[in-house]
A and B are shown apart, each in its own frame.
Chain A
């Protein structure tokens, strides 16, 4: 390779507490090149960027292996400050701007231009007078460079979101000697026209010789603006390719890839699922869940099926079950088995026979300091009045009945514990998940929603949980909606899989559909939704 690269990262490997998150990654960017860094959630993009910026989290966990070269010279980047000195800048996904300050102040903060005064000669540099004019001039220049027509003395507070992104960019390019600029999912919060502007700006910056690393999962943007790309998957390098050599389908395939592990052995399947027998009909629901907004989803779940909902983090797949259960502000119509469910009434869905296993097991799913028995019986007691004994004037918790039920559940679901009195906080992740499922089953629901059932549990336990869900579905005819970030998991158990992108259903696919289809849907490439697959 003769090209002289502004940045080369060679054979980067990183372990967190014994788990390998990056394996021999190479990344190289030439001056004036727009380079995309692509991969699913957890592919290792953020870790790689943290290494590049010398973030403390990397050094506190034992550093990394491999070398970094800037302009062909090996460097040691041990702090974000060092990275800045080397001319590496970053445009953040969450805006790092001070709302009460003007645009100029935001751009120049930490690098103010100042003139000495009488006082500063005595007391030192920190008391020098700011040269407002020079600073305004610099700021204006930076804003002009990216073509943002706005007065530099405006306060940041109240500006549209799109502008804030550009001010961040202006701040980065105002730094002298900037060579490499990293955009971390910059278009996620922008409207379509703002996003187009941003892409134009990126091209403009590249023409000036600044190298750009563009982190995104939107394939269409990558196709539009980049010269080359590096694709990561599960912490390994898939390939570095030139954008003109590939097409969207190929990129999607590289990102997803067929994983070999199979989570469910073939079982007897003698279910009959009819596309007319709809148990849950959702029409145009919108859920205001922070970070997981749902913007108008229609779904029809058939009785007896296992329905998967997949998609990248933050796209809204988690918002759907939370909306149905009424945990966040929700609008739209939900019809369940002939009954209307009002998402505004907390617990309405529970009363009508939908049980939910939360995605946040330790935060929402469990009372960590309470016993297994308490955790299993709690919801059924509150919603259906089970496990209460009538003493005439008052009804009290029936510990005996509850214990018996808990013991039964421990046996049927094979929860490994010292007994029903053990605090659930002491159990392993897989067993905690079983307690959550046990609580949901105690409600004897007609529909079970499980969100991220295998998050944070080891592979063996994963398999057990998946098998358990399959067994419940096959043997008891329980309809299950499974929400998961792990496509592989959904594809091993589900009958149909809806992929959510940007708060909407991108497509509904079959598990055996090709990888590329899944990849494209997840990247939000708009296509006709085939309703009758």
Chain B
């Protein structure tokens, strides 16, 4: 029994226990300051599912030896594009779904997911080829790939000939708006599926959203147990070892990058549907950083990551942001610390993890 507890303790790790204890502490503090704890908790659960798949996108990238995917914005823009196409075709309001709005919304979501994941897969393969050429400095390169692609897509967003009224600027002109409402397509469709509780009064559990998140976690878990998944992890852990076992290391890295990019695309769609809007242009610029921070807080390193790191990390990171910030604001009245603290926490965690980083693909001959 003692050994069991020790094992559990070791697999969770001291940093997580401290953060979790801190989380509990701020929840009590929130109660002390007469905040609506239930609504805060609902918010935590919602953001957990909302960010989960984006954070999950870090796992294949880390496992295949590329380090955390700072360039997940590449997948994000694919997801945005897929959603735009789904809105443009107005799939949710097709006549076959006339009697079942909910089904229409689901179909519109699935269409966006499948289309953008496919596009992201091919884009990710190209991205993987690029990363194979810059072994040893993947993290730096991927950060700039992420920044560049946002700038590049900004040009496309203004020029692409969308005609749907939700997308277009209201007064004439071409191109997409800054924020595009999903009210007519798949807004909150996952959140409301099999949800428990009432959004306005008590605890609201977005069951559909969480299940969707866990489903993807399970799929990636299975993938990591497959022959290709194991080969990919080995290629990331020790490229020379993998090569000696007859594995094409570069191919495995491309698979990992493509998978990560696809998950990024699916991730932003889940995020957008929970948020209710698509945020275009520069909105996803820094999104990669909070995802990296979340998976690292969950116990991953820049060379090893597990699914449990994603689940724990997203919960702790988002949970702290949701609960601790309002508490901090009411303790230090008159200040608006929320955004500053969010930046300090997420960048601080990334900095901490990078100082611990070593090895990786750089040691391949």
Chain A residues in contact with chain B, CB under 8 A?
Answer: 290, 325, 327, 346-348, 350-351, 356, 358, 360, 363-370, 374, 378-379, 381-383, 385, 388, 394-397
Known: A388-B227, A397-B226. A364 touches B241 (CB 8 A): yes
Chain B residues in contact with chain A, CB under 8 A?
Answer: 222, 225-227, 230-231, 234, 237-238, 240-241, 243-248, 304, 363, 365
Q: Is the CB of A367 within 8 A of B227?
A: no
Q: Is the CB of B227 within 8 A of A378?
A: no
Cα(A325)–Cα(B227), bound, Å? 21
Give the residue name and chain of the B residue nearest to A326 (CB): B246
Known: A395-B226, A397-B227. 10 other contacts (CB 8 A): A346-B247, A347-B247, A348-B246, A351-B246, A363-B240, A364-B243, A366-B241, A378-B245, A388-B227, A397-B226
Q: Which of chain A's residues have a CB closer than 8 A to the CB of B234?
A: 367, 378
Within the complex, which residue of A356, A369, A382, A394 is in contact with B237, where a contact is CB–CB below 8 Å? Answer: A369
Q: Is the CB of A327 within 8 A of B244?
A: yes
Q: Is the CB of A347 within 8 A of B226?
A: no
Give the residue name and chain of the B residue nearest to A383 (CB): B246
Q: Is the CB of A369 within 8 A of B243?
A: no
Q: Which of chain A's residues have a CB closer than 8 A to the CB of B365?
A: 290
Q: Is the interface of B mostly helix, strand, loop or mixed?
A: helix
Q: Which of chain B's residues have a CB closer than 8 A to the CB of A366?
A: 238, 241
Q: Is the CB of B241 within 8 A of A347?
A: no
Give the residue name and chain of the B residue nearest to A399 (CB): B225
Known: A364-B241, A370-B237. A397 touches B225 (CB 8 A): yes
Known: A378-B234, A396-B222. A365 touches B227 (CB 8 A): no
Q: Is the CB of B246 within 8 A of A379?
A: yes
Q: Is the CB of B248 within 8 A of A346?
A: yes
Q: Is the CB of A379 within 8 A of B245?
A: yes
Give the residue name and chain of the A residue nearest to B245 (CB): A379
Closest CB of chain A to B117's CB: distance in Å? 18
Cα(A76)–Cα(B272), bound, Å? 73
Q: Which of chain B's residues have a CB closer than 8 A to the CB of A364?
A: 238, 240-241, 243-244
Cα(A129)–Cα(B234), bound, Å? 57
8 residue pairs, one from A and one from B, having the closest CB atoms: A347-B246, A379-B245, A364-B240, A397-B225, A350-B246, A396-B225, A364-B244, A367-B237
Closest CB of chain A to B230's CB: distance in Å? 6
Q: Is the CB of A394 within 8 A of B241?
A: no
Cα(A159)–Cα(B226), bound, Å? 53
Cα(A385)–Cα(B228), bound, Å? 11
Q: Is the CB of B241 within 8 A of A382?
A: no
Within the complex, which residue of B222, B230, B246, B304 is in contact with A394, where a contact is CB–CB below 8 Å? Answer: B222
Q: Is the CB of A367 within 8 A of B243?
A: no
Q: Is the CB of B243 within 8 A of A327?
A: yes
Q: Which of chain A's residues have a CB closer than 8 A to the CB of B248?
A: 346
Closest CB of chain A to B200's CB: distance in Å? 43
Known: A360-B240, A367-B234, A370-B237. A347 touches B245 (CB 8 A): yes
Known: A381-B230, A394-B222, A394-B226. A325 touches B244 (CB 8 A): yes
Q: Is the CB of A356 within 8 A of B244?
A: yes
Cα(A381)–Cα(B304), bound, Å? 21
Known: A396-B225, A397-B227. A346 touches B246 (CB 8 A): yes
